[in-house]
Structure 1
Amino acid sequence: MAITEVWDGVAEVHMALNNQATGLLNLKKDIRGVLEQMEDIQLEILGERAQCYTQARKEEQLASIAKSRPQVGCLEGFKGQLWLLALRLLLGTLLACITAYVYVVDPVPFEGLVPPLLSRATVWKLRALLGPFLHLEVDDFLPF
């Protein structure tokens, strides 16, 4: 009798475990379904955010284009920009002329300006580096 009772108990436990396994499988399927629904909702939310972002960006671009267009009565800003452009061109031309003069004509007047601005070691390095380019020797080119 004890053995049959044990077998009956084992059979009941086995049935209970099968019922639990079936319940867990059903729960797993339900959780997968819920996760898929959540992913769909997240994708919809991201799509809506992307649409809102692109719409906002288009509006910003339109606003920046509208701002960048010169107004009919707004010549003061244009005059200021024209003045700055003229100043930049003047300074660029002056710098180009000074550079051409030093490079082509005579670097001696500007050699006195460099040592107070730089250390002696730096001046000697610059002199060694730029010396052959600044002093033109034409002895080899003369026919006599």
Structure 2
Amino acid sequence: MDTADGDRSGFELAGHWHDDSLDVTAEDLAMTGAGTLRVLRVSGDIDTDTAPVLEDALKQAAADQPHAVVVDLSGLTFGDSATLNALLQAHHRLPALVIAGPLNAALQRLFTLAGLDAFFTMTPDVETAVEQLTSS
């Protein structure tokens, strides 16, 4: 399955949240015998004004109880402490949370400086995350 080039075979749209600066799309993949894998594709900017958009998508993911959630930050152009806060809160509500990139240099630095690059499970891209989660 190739999720990097837009071929998202097997994925079904599960929700969409947005405002002027941020867009979050939820896609679900049914995993044989293991429930559902949710991928949140995030694009735009996250700051204190737009973080509630991501928070709402993550809260809905927790309510829907998927087996795991992959947050695709490859389309994120700006993120600050509000991004980290939303992800940390979600980490406590979800059974498994994976951060997928590739992350831009500034976002990678934010995770590193906060010491969260070692805290979160991180993968280079969504395809790797899906492969890891569906093979276990």
Range class of TM-score, shorter chain? under 0.3
Larger Rg: 1
Where relative contact order (Cα < 8 A, 6+ residues apart) is larger, the structure is: 2
Going by fraction, where is helix more abundant, 1 or 2?
1
After TM superposition, the score normalised by the length of structure 1 is 0.21
